[in-house]
Amino acid sequence: MSTASRYRFVQTTRASQFAAVFGALLVVALIAAPWWASRGDMRLLSEVFLYLSLATLWNLLAGYAGLVSVGQQAFVGLGGYGLFALAMFFGVPPLLAVPLVALIAAVAALPIAVLIFRLTGAYFAIGTWVIAEVFRLGFAQVTALGGGSGTSLPIGIIKSIAASRSMRDTISYWMALGMVILVLAVVYLWLRSRHGFPLTAIRDNELAAKSLGIDIWRTKLQVYVLTAGLTASVGALIFLQKLRISPDAAFSVNDWTAYVIFIVVIGGIGTIEGPIIGTLVFFLLRGFFADLGSAYLMILGVVAIAVILKSPRGIWGWISDKYDIALFPLSRRVIAIEPSTQDETKP
């Protein structure tokens, strides 16, 4: 009787299959939100989607490529101002401007990367913040866009999106939902592709990855340009919903970087599930404590410290370690196939 076991590689798990089915049903329900949710609920959901998009992109940059940036607000603001400039000066429809600013930001990220990739560690983080400040000061000098006080979208451009306010809110909501789906899909497929394996190797051990022949600089450049373009599109959607932009709002390190880092750290850096968990926790805390003023920020700090002390890999890291589950599996697992119990036929 044969007792030899055979093995095969698998990448999906029961948990991931369940998550895929649940996610598909959730997307269908969210698409139908204009028919069951109030306008206030839709605006809140849009904000959740956009913050989750920013957190997922920052996590790809810092959690996988090791590029800890505190200046991603540079691309949020560039996306917002890019949309306003394209719509006001060149007559580009706002909905078409959203993907166009991604291309503009991706191109702008190339010379920026050449400059700041000369820095490492804390110097890199400070360098990204300096770049964001240069952007803020630069756009504050553009009088055609309102200078330091900012500007609003003209009413004619607003009406070109949709005639009624309710329809504009619905379109903005659907675009925010589409953006978070796009970001999650791009990041997941990127990490599972041939581009993802070098990135995962860099995350685990950069020196070992380099010794295996992985081009560290090129791999990080690809990720930096990708996240810059998508972050700019998210920024365009943020200020398309606000209908007004100013340098301080567009390049706010608190709104577009500090909160995003908090989300990723408490959720679980270096995982796709982490930013999802972190976003939900962040908005729950904001809903309960936002009215407390400066005490609210102290509460966020205490929560972050408590989570880090309990589980340095975040909430999802603790769940994953304890229950060995992955909703977005990236690594392959080896499983044994039951040996055949049939007698072998002897010649």
pLDDT of the residue at 192:
86
pLDDT of the residue at 199:
83
pTM of the predicted protein model:
0.92
Q: Please, what's the b/e burial string for 260-282 (b: 16 or more CB within 10 A of its CB; e: otherwise)?
A: bbbbbbbbbbbbbbbbbbbbebb
Q: Is CATH 1.10.287 the right assignment for the domain spanning 6-337?
A: no
Q: Tens digits of per-residue pLDDT, 195-205?
A: 787 887 777 77
Residues of the chain with pLDDT under 50: 1-4, 340-347
**C-alpha angle 330/181/314, rounded to 5°?**
50
Q: Tens digits of per-residue pLDDT, 97-145?
A: 999 999 999 999 999 999 999 998 899 999 999 999 999 999 999 999 9
pLDDT of the residue at 209:
82
pLDDT of the residue at 135:
97
State the chain's mean pLDDT as an integer.
89
Question: Token pair for residue 217?
Answer: 């600089």
pLDDT of the residue at 335:
59
> Is 278 within 8 Å of 52 (Cβ atoms)?
no
